Amino acid sequence: MIVMKFGGTSVEDAKAIDRAASIVRERLPQKPVVVVSAMAKVTDTLLKMAKAAGEGKRDAAMELSRGLRERHYNCTGELLGTGVFTRFHGELEAEFDALDELLRGIAAVGELTPRTTDLVASYGELLSSRLVSEAFQARGIAAAHVDSRECIVTDANHMKAAPLFDETNEQLGHTLKPLLDRNQVPVMGGFIGSTRGGVTTTIGRGGSDFSAAIVGAALGAAAIEIWTDVDGMLTTDPHFCPDARRIRVISFDEAAELAYFGAKVLHPATVLPAIQKNIPVWILNSRNPACEGTKITTRAPHCRNMFKAIAAKKRITIVNVAAPRMLLAHGFLKSIFEAFDRHRVPIDVVSTSEVSVSLTIDSNEAIPALAADLAKIADVKYEGRKAIVCLVGESLRETPGLAARVFGELSDLKVRMISQGASEINLTFVIEEEDVPGVVQRLHRTFFSELDPAVFA
Ligand code: ASP
Ligand code: MG
């Protein structure tokens, strides 16, 4: 069997769901289980209305709910023939009435708990999965709707619940295997689950990829397909470099290094359950299904190119911390990191010398408070408008003279920080923000002008 996960934009309207049906039909011999996100932007809207209700703004919440209701009704009308439409419209109506009831309750109490937030948020995937299942049936696919809350068992850490794998795997096998044996196509919502006691939970924003990986790992899928709206992962950002090329195959570790720069596609950590079981994960474009996409594998195949990708991130600030009068004493780094931790500012790149430390951060709001705190223990300077450039590739491990080649290429450039070795597969450095397009173009030309056809399209 395989898992086919359709993200929000791949089920955003009737046209998208129709395309998804055609894509699934092609894969029927592979016995797909379909996992869907809420229609695009629906989760955002649900969270907004929950928040409004929690603040006692009942009318605002109901207004948002009315908008969603209409969108789902319209989509259903376009997808289903009259007979089915009448029955299913009634079912949708009941769901939206229940949602409104819930919102009125939240508004009356004037308090929104994480547990209630999950209940509201769950409507996105509940509705999309039922709608997709009906639409598939109407298109001759033997779809069977499965309520994910009966399979994905989680702890009670609402809004970011963790799956209890033993129970979940058992439930998934129990529920899905008989359907697959009868050549049915299970259709289930991502993102949602429930506690042992049956309370609805969600597993974190963007969690449908995680759901797909959990299902695939539980059933020993031959592949997991993440259907989205791009052709896959690219050698670099095409905004900087129009000749960026598609990466055919990338290792999990490489994809994880790149996630920080372009998490738009998918965060590899969410597919870890699949990778641990050696199940390949494909990123595919539902608007261009003929494109073979990007395959993420546990181990990278040999690649003749030194790098798989170049990523860049702007809006970086360097924080230079110098220990006053003393060399880096025992505990100095600890106290610096603690200050960052207190202000919840994540650190990206670090480089140290005997007497100072440079760190990069990508958020600016917390800087004044952090600065005041750091000033108590050290001399601190800030430099804004910097950028991180990162080169990633498994071949870095065994390539000598690599830094020389990269920086030789950039010999006229002011490089502010360098970091290599932390992961063995990435070389990271910090430059001025305005240098990014030029640097990325030069490096791309140098390292990607000849491409290993097994790895790049
Ligand atoms: N609909 C959820 C979200 O927007 C889960 C997902 O789409 O992955 O976060
Ligand atoms: Mg997503």
Give the pLDDT of the chain (457 residues) as one tens digit per residue.
999 999 999 999 999 999 999 999 999 999 999 999 999 999 999 999 999 999 999 999 999 999 999 999 999 999 998 889 999 999 999 999 999 999 999 999 999 999 999 999 999 999 999 999 999 999 999 999 999 999 999 999 999 999 999 999 999 999 999 999 999 999 999 999 999 999 999 999 999 999 999 999 999 999 999 999 999 999 999 888 889 999 999 999 999 888 877 646 788 888 999 999 999 999 999 999 999 999 999 988 889 999 999 999 999 999 999 887 655 567 888 889 999 999 989 899 999 887 889 999 986 778 888 989 999 888 999 999 999 999 999 888 888 888 899 999 999 999 999 998 777 899 999 999 999 999 999 999 999 999 999 999 9
Contact call for residues 275 and 252 (beta carbons, < 8 A): yes
Tell me the whole-structure pTM to 2 decimals. 0.91
Q: How far apart are the CA of 47 and the centre of ligand 1, in A?
A: 11
Tell which atom from ligand 1 comes closest to the C-alpha of 191: 5
The predicted pLDDT at position 169 comes to: 98
Contact call for residues 57 and 65 (beta carbons, < 8 A): no
Q: ∠ CA(339), CA(340), CA(345), 5° rounding?
A: 150
DSSP state of 234: B
193 lines ligand 1 (CB under 6 A): no
Query: For residue 189, what are the CA distances in angstroms to 8, 18, 126, 210?
Result: 11, 17, 6, 12
The predicted pLDDT at position 61 comes to: 98
173 lines ligand 1 (CB under 6 A): no
205 lines ligand 1 (CB under 6 A): yes
Query: Counting ligands in written order, which one lies closest to the CA of residue 43?
Result: 1
Task: State how beta strands 192-195 and 153-154 pair.
Answer: parallel
163 lines ligand 1 (CB under 6 A): no
The predicted pLDDT at position 367 comes to: 83
The pocket of ion ligand 2, defined by CB under 5 A, consists of 7, 206
208 lines ligand 1 (CB under 6 A): yes
The predicted pLDDT at position 261 comes to: 78
Tell which atom from ligand 1 comes closest to the C-alpha of 7: 7
- Residue located nearest, by CA, to atom 6 of ligand 1: 206
- Residue located nearest, by CA, to atom 5 of ligand 1: 206
What is the spatial distance between Cα 9 and Cα 285, in angstroms, rounded to a whole number? 10
38 lines ligand 1 (CB under 6 A): yes
Q: How far apart are the CA of 7 and the centre of ligand 2, in A?
A: 6
Query: Counting ligands in written order, which one lies closest to the CA of residue 207?
Result: 1
45 lines ligand 1 (CB under 6 A): no
Q: How far apart are the CA of 5 and the centre of ligand 2, in A?
A: 10
Q: How far apart are the CA of 227 and the centre of ligand 2, in A?
A: 10
Scanning 245-358, the segments in alpha helix (DSSP H) are 252-262, 272-276, 332-342
CB atoms within 10 A of CB 174: 11
56 lines ligand 1 (CB under 6 A): no
Query: For residue 308, what are the CA distances in angstroms to 133, 170, 260, 395?
Result: 38, 38, 15, 9
What is the spatial distance between Cα 149 and Cα 161, in angstroms, rounded to a whole number? 12
Q: How far apart are the CA of 264 and the centre of ligand 2, in A?
A: 8
Task: State how beta strands 417-420 and 309-322 pair.
Answer: unpaired
Q: How far apart are the CA of 252 and the centre of ligand 1, in A?
A: 22
Burial track 125-149 (b if 16+ CB lie within 10 A, e otherwise): bbbbbbbbbbbbbbbebebbbbebb
